[in-house]
Each structure stands twice: as C-alpha cells, then as structure tokens.
Amino acid sequence: MLILVINCGSSSVKYNLIDTSEEKNLCRGLVERIGAVTSIVKHEPEGGRHTKNTRTIANHSEALQEIMNYLLDTENKIISSPSDIEAVGHRVVHGGEMFKDSVLIDEDVLAAIEQAFDLAPLHNPPNLRGIQAAKKNLPDIPHVAVFDTAFHHSLPNKAFLYGIPNRLYRRYKIRKYGFHGTSHYFVSRQYYKKTGKKAGNTKLITCHLGNGASITAIDGGKSIDTSMGFTPLSGLVMGTRSGDLDPSILFYLIEKEELSLANVHALLNRHSGLLGLSGYASDMRDLIEEASNGDRRCQQAIDVFCYKIKQYIGSYIASMNGCDAIIFTAGIGENSPLIRKRSLEEMSYLGIEVDDTKNDSPDRGAIQKISTDNSKTEVYVIPTNEELVIAIDTAKIAQASDQSPWV
C-alpha cells in the first residue's frame, strides 16, 4: 500500500511517502518555518533530484497542499493522482492512557487527542492541526494515528507511578507515559529478526539517542520501563532538555530568579541539556569537535550525557535481572562511536565489552554488532525507522477498516 506518513510540529510538517509492500521510501520532505515570512521547503525523492526552496506557507493546510502539489507534479513522476495514496499515518506524541495501539481516526479519536493537550502542550496541538490539514487535502481515505506512548502501555504500575499522592494519578492521570515508542519497538524487532532470538525470553535495553533521547528496558518483547516520563522532559540529558532533576530546584529557582512558570518551562525545555551545560551548542557533533579542541565545558556536557546513559543502563539491568543486548539508535546512537564507547565504559563487572574496531567503523545504515565475542551482553547499532512503523501500522488498520464495518 502507498502510505503518506505525516509528522507535524508547531511550525513544521515532515512527510514520507512509503510503499509498504516493499517497505520502501519513495519520497521524503520537510516544510519548516510555517507562518514565518519565508518558509523552507525540502523534497527528497528516492533516487531523484533533491530540492530546497523558500516561499510563504501560512499554515499546516498550505504545507499539506505544497506537499501534494510536489508529489503530483508530472515532472517529478512520484504519483499521478491523489487516489494513489491509500491512507495517511499521523505521528501523535501523546495518547494518554486511552490509546494502547494505533487507531483509525474518527471524531472520538480527534476529541481524545484534544483532551491530551494538557499532557503534551507542545506536541499534541500541532499533531491535531496536521491531522485536520491532511483530512482536508485527502478527505476520502483512512487516516490513522500512531502514538509515541503506545509501546509503553505495558509498563507495570510499580514503574509508571510516581511517589506522590495516589489521588493525583486518579484525578489527573499523572504518571510515567514514556515516548519514542515506535523507535524502541522498531529496533527491538530488528534485533529479533537479525539474531533469530525469540522476543519472549530476551531482555533488551534500547538507547534512542537523538536530539531527544530516551532509554527503554524491553523484557519479553514488552516495554517494562523507560526514561522519559509524564512528558518528554525527564530522563537523559538531551539537546536542550534537562532530563531528570530534583524538583526542589524549581522552587529554589522561582524564588531566586523570580521566574514565571513560562520562564521555567522554557529554561528546562529549550535552554538546558547539552546546550545549557556547554553554553555552546545542543548538537553533539559541535560539542565533540569543540571538546577535541580543548573546550572544558563541552567536554563536561559530553561527560554528563554519557554518565546518565550508563546509569540508566545499569538500573535497567537491575530491573530485568540481566540483559542480552544493548541497542544504540537515532542520530547520536547510530553515528557516534565516542558516545557509545563512553556510555559503556567500565562496565566489565556486568560483562559488557565493546570491540573498538567494530565500534569505530560500523557500516553506515546497517545493523551491526559492536561488542566483542566474549562480551556477556551483546551491543548493537541498529538504525531506527519510525516512519516505516507508522506506515505499516497505518496500512494494517486501513486494510482492516476497508474489510470490516466494525473496525
């Protein structure tokens, strides 16, 4: 099936056109700076000419029109009619407690995504705008929502409850939800496929290290704990997000610096993490380069980043009473031998040994084992492909909705 996968941010629309029968990406692209004076539009057809232009795109609906115009342009030869696209898959960040799986979008689902606005004020509103814009442009085909939180629905109560009065969970659903679910799911399935091991008796730790970063413990194929929490702010140190901290710091800061709630929100989400620690950059490539030139604060930022990863890995080995394999994925996890090595340093007590030669030169884009043959725990680099998971789920649900009047 030909599936259009849409991922909307507050001022961006990312898209992939995927043929699920061959698991092949036909075209990807991005419309950025929506609503600004000049928006940036990129299209990257597979095997074709990549383009980057600027123009004015006022809203998400215009962005979707721009994408459809490009895909339909006879010169680009990607599709010949809108009806070539059989369904649209939407990445939705927060599904709350309601969505344990991907769903066909109807009025009730739209209302439920809106209800979760409070839980993900940065993500769910643009996700919903994206769905509305895509439905306007492609009204006659199924639209499916795939949630970042869904894979973590298997977390047991002891992992998802916080140590606060239980009525706050009951009344406001304050609990750990976890994110990057499609990525953790995808790389774990790639591991089972590659090694032939059964999900049922395998313990994995998957490290999604990108601009946003999270670690998940997967036992028996199910997520049993994960580092992000009520929102994607907690857990590891990230590009601009703080990750875990003592909540008392907030009271202290609000008093000392007379910060408003909006200021605190911006401080922790946009000015912290690697950017805040280094005072230089949120991008790991820049930090590695400056650290190698002797910048002490960039080095410290890398140290804190890797130390946090190591701590989470250790704690998830304890949670699962063992670990068969650790998997690195996403921008940093797939591309940085240095970060992989530093995160697993001095863990020989746990039987983790990285093979430096394999770690330093994995084939880009390939699944690769980077642990030594003696390592008790395997270590793998596995490229993620969240869009493919969304496309496959969407195809499955769209086909079922076609066949059954009850889905």
Enumerate binding residues for ligand AMP (CB under 6 A): 210-211, 239, 283-285, 288, 330-332, 335-336
**Which is nearest to 142 in space by CA: 36, 43, 246, 1?**
1
- Rounded distance between C-alpha atoms, residue 94 and residue 99, angstroms: 9
Catalytic residues: 148
Nearer to ligand AMP, 106 or 345 (CB): 345
Nearer to ligand AMP, 109 or 284 (CB): 284
- Nearest approach, Cβ of 74 to ligand AMP (angstroms)? 33
For every residue of 15-41, DSSP letters joined together read EEEEETTTTEEEEEEEEESTTSSSEEE
| Count of helix runs (H) and strand runs (E) in the chain | 15, 14
- Nearest approach, Cβ of 60 to ligand AMP (angstroms)? 21
- Nearest approach, Cβ of 299 to ligand AMP (angstroms)? 14
- Nearest approach, Cβ of 194 to ligand AMP (angstroms)? 21
**Dihedral of alpha carbons 282, 385, 205, 341, sign:** negative
Nearer to ligand AMP, 243 or 331 (CB): 331
SS3 144: strand
Nearer to ligand AMP, 134 or 306 (CB): 306
For every residue of 74-134, DSSP letters joined together read TTT-S-SSGGG--EEEEEES--TTT-SS-EE--HHHHHHHHHTTTT-TTTHHHHHHHHHHH
Q: CA torsion, points 53, 59, 64, 67, in degrees to nearest 10?
A: 0
